[in-house]
Structures are given as structure tokens and as C-alpha cells.
Amino acid sequence: MPATAPPFAPQAPRYRHGGERTAERILDAAEALFAERGYTATTLRDVATRVGVRPPSLYNHFASKDAIWQAVMDWVAEHLSIPGVVVAEVD
């Protein structure tokens, strides 16, 4: 007999681990820099400097600049749903 789901979904913890906070800070910085300078003109060094970490530390959270871009675009698509707007993926 299959187990039944609890009558309520468990709530997310009220705190975030340091790595999750850092990833969020990376995305916030990247979003701002992409908006200010554009994707091509923004470097990983720029993102790291804005976050206050060394550039290699970004790779603890994201595989590449493209991965950061995609995460930013995914967040935008999820949170700023605008009818008729399609967010393209980076190949």
C-alpha cells in the first residue's frame, strides 16, 4: 500500500546555508552587471568583485558564465512572468 502524503507541505527552513546565500549574491550581482554592461561585456571577474569573492570561487556554485546567465534568466522567467515574452536559452 503506498504511503500517503502529509496533509501539509513541509516549510522551507527559515535560514539558508552560506553556500546558498553566496549563490544568491552571485545571481544578484550578475543580474545587475548584465543589465548595466550586457552579457558580453560582463566578466566573471566583474561578478566576483561585486560579490566580494575570488573569481575561482564562482565555480563552486556555477559551471560557467553561461550557467550564471541561464540561472538569472530562469529566475526572471519564473518571477517576472510577462505574457508573450519568451526567455531564450544559451547554447
Distances (CA, A) of 43 to 16, 38, 78, 90: 27, 10, 25, 16
The pTM for the full model equals 0.68
Number of helical H runs and strand E runs in the chain? 3, 0
Measured CA to CA, the distance from residue 3 to residue 10 in angstroms comes to 16
| pLDDT at position 17 | 54
For residue 53, give the nearest of 18, 7, 1, 90 by alpha carbon: 18
Query: pLDDT tens digits for the chain (91 residues)?
Result: 444 444 433 344 333 455 688 999 999 999 999 999 999 999 999 999 999 999 999 999 999 999 999 999 988 877 776 666 665 655 5
